[in-house]
Amino acid sequence: MSEVSAKTVMGYIVSAVLLFFAVVFALASAYDTLRLVTSAFLFLAGFGILYYVRTQKPMQITQKLEVLGKLKVQTLECPNCSAFLDISQMKIAKGVPSMKCSYCGHTFEVTEEPKW
Ligand SMILES: [Zn+2]
């Protein structure tokens, strides 16, 4: 998490520097069109990085929630030893979904329907 915030701070610093130079070039562009073009480019780059930094954070939160949701679906708790078991190892015996715990060997019926 600290790495992400450091990146965000870096993004803000870089965009601030770019925008600062954009203003400097704009002020110096009175008789020079090339400087005006450079200034416009720096403005675009500065705002581009600012936009990238601002849009990155909520995206990462969404990805994290998706991963947490998947983990919840794919695991099942053993009633004997409370170990988390992989739901893909579930077997249907006589129409009843059952699990054999790979940690304590306990076999139990899966009463709770898995939520996809
Ligand atoms: Zn167990």
For the segment 27-40, what is each residue's pLDDT rounded down to a tens digit?
877 667 788 888 88
78 Cα–ligand 1 center, Å: 5
65 Cα–ligand 1 center, Å: 28
pTM across the whole model: 0.37
Q: What CA–CA distance (Å, rounded) separates 91 from 23?
A: 67
**What does the chain come to in residues?**
116
Distances (CA, A) of 70 to 7, 66, 105: 27, 6, 25
79 Cα–ligand 1 center, Å: 7
Closest CA to 100 of 92, 114, 112, 89: 89
**108 strand-pairing partners:** 99
Q: What are phi and psi of 106, to 5 degrees?
A: -75, 130
| pLDDT of 69 above 60 | no
DSSP 41-73: HHHHHHHHHHHHHHHHHHHHHHHHHHHHHHHHH
88 Cα–ligand 1 center, Å: 16
89 Cα–ligand 1 center, Å: 13
| pLDDT of 81 above 80 | yes
For residues 63 and 93, the model is more confident at 93
81 Cα–ligand 1 center, Å: 4
95 Cα–ligand 1 center, Å: 22
Closest CA to 107 of 81, 68, 75: 81
Query: What is the chain's alpha carbon radius of gyration, rounded to the nearest angstrom?
Result: 28
